[in-house]
Amino acid sequence: MKDSPSTRRFPLLAIYAGLVFAFIYLPIVVLILYSFNRDGVGGFPPQHLTLDWYRQLFADRSIWDSVLNSLIVAGGAVALSLTLGLLAALALDRASFPGKSLFRRLVLLPLILPGIITGLSLLMFAVIAGLQLSLFTVFLGHGTALMSVATTELFAGLQKNDRAMEEASLDLGATPWQTFWRITLPNLKLSLIAAGLLTFTLSMDEIAVTFFLIGRDNTLPLEIWGRLRRGITPEINAVSTLIFAVSVVLIIVWYRIRMRAGTEAQQLIETP
């Protein structure tokens, strides 16, 4: 399928697209730039480039404590949401039961609802259940909210799977349990990794739901948020730049994996 080289014919469109790109990236570029600015955020142009803010950042204990907290929560949330997501995807793909469509909508609801609603609902639940607000409640919140994401990704991965492979496995004498471990799961490997990366990143960045479920220990976004209320320092620029850098790496990895998952499935189908 070839696209005709029509960029020539529509220069206005290309320029407009370029402007949109600029709009999307400009704030980030500014952010990164000013993380090196000695005179702090604001004013123009940035002079006196320095790494001082980064040095300050690396000496800042509470930031790194919150990073650790975020990692712990994210790790748990990924495990939980992948497990639940895998089961939910399997259920949606293969089982039929009363209330299935209600289930499907419920599972996907946290994706589309504003985070505050999910966060508050879980808060009320925590109170009724007598749970202390802590990293544990945050972990529960993330797991629940991110289950939607995992389910969507894994469901798509299941759809790409050739049903015939599982049938072949059963035909050759393997039990459904064995088929699951030997055939289904390995074929989902790439989808699982992709879903894991996605949920990890989303958990690390989560604010809205976390806002209402946080106890004494802060996650990274909440820690930054707290400081923002007190004032702006370029140290925040520095940590933001680092977050940006890590995000970029993660998304490139995620994208490559997803593409590989697509082409591998493609190759399997196309090999005569």
Partner 1 sequence: MYSRAYKAIVSAPPLLWVALFLLLPYALMFAHSFWRVQDGVLVHHWNLSNYQKLQANPLYAEVLFRTMRIAGSVMLCSLLLGYPLAYYLSFHSGPRKELLYQLVIVPLWVSYLVRGYAWKTILGSEGVLNGFLRYAHITHEPVSFLLYSPFAVVLMLTHIYTPFVFLPIYASLEHIPRPLVEASQDLGASPASTFFRVILPLSMPGLLAGATFAFVLALGDFLAPLLVGGSSGTMIANIVQTLFGATYDWPLGAAISVCILLMTLSLLFLTERLEKRWSFK
Q: Is 49 helix (H, G, I), strand (E, B) or coil?
A: strand
236 binds partner 1 (CB under 8 A): yes
Smaller CB separation from partner 1, 72 or 250: 250
| Token reading at 249 | 């790496």
Contact 137, 215 (CB under 8 A): yes
Q: How far is the CB of 72 from partner 1 (least distance, A)?
A: 18
Residues listed for the chain:
272
Q: How far is the CB of 197 from partner 1 (least distance, A)?
A: 10
Contact with partner 1 (CB under 8 A) among 48, 97, 173, 270:
97
114 binds partner 1 (CB under 8 A): yes
Contact with partner 1 (CB under 8 A) among 63, 122, 190, 214:
122
1 binds partner 1 (CB under 8 A): yes
Q: How far is the CB of 269 from partner 1 (least distance, A)?
A: 19
225 binds partner 1 (CB under 8 A): yes
172 binds partner 1 (CB under 8 A): no
71 binds partner 1 (CB under 8 A): no
Q: What is the DSSP letter of 212?
A: H
Chain positions 2 to 41 lying near partner 1, rule: CB under 8 A, are 3, 5-7, 9-10, 13-14, 16-17, 20-21, 23-25, 27-28, 30-31, 34, 41
* 186 preceded by a cis bond (ω within 30 of 0): no
115 binds partner 1 (CB under 8 A): yes
Q: How far is the CB of 116 from partner 1 (least distance, A)?
A: 5
Rounded Cα distance, 150 and 83, in Å: 9
Contact with partner 1 (CB under 8 A) among 58, 62, 75, 94:
94
Rounded Cα distance, 100 and 98, in Å: 5
Phi then psi for 37, rounded to 5 degrees?
-90, 125
Q: Give the binding-site size for partner 1 (rule: CB under 8 A).
A: 86
Handedness of CA 101, 106, 109, 113 (dihedral sign): positive
Q: How far is the CB of 107 from partner 1 (least distance, A)?
A: 6
Contact 214, 133 (CB under 8 A): yes
Rounded Cα distance, 237 and 243, in Å: 10
Contact 11, 1 (CB under 8 A): no
Stretch that binds partner 1, among 48-56, 70-78, 85-93, 260-268 (CB under 8 A): 85-93
- 41 CB-near residues (< 8 Å, 6+ apart): 34, 232, 233, 234, 237
Stretch that binds partner 1, among 49-57, 130-138, 144-152, 261-269 (CB under 8 A): 144-152
185 binds partner 1 (CB under 8 A): no
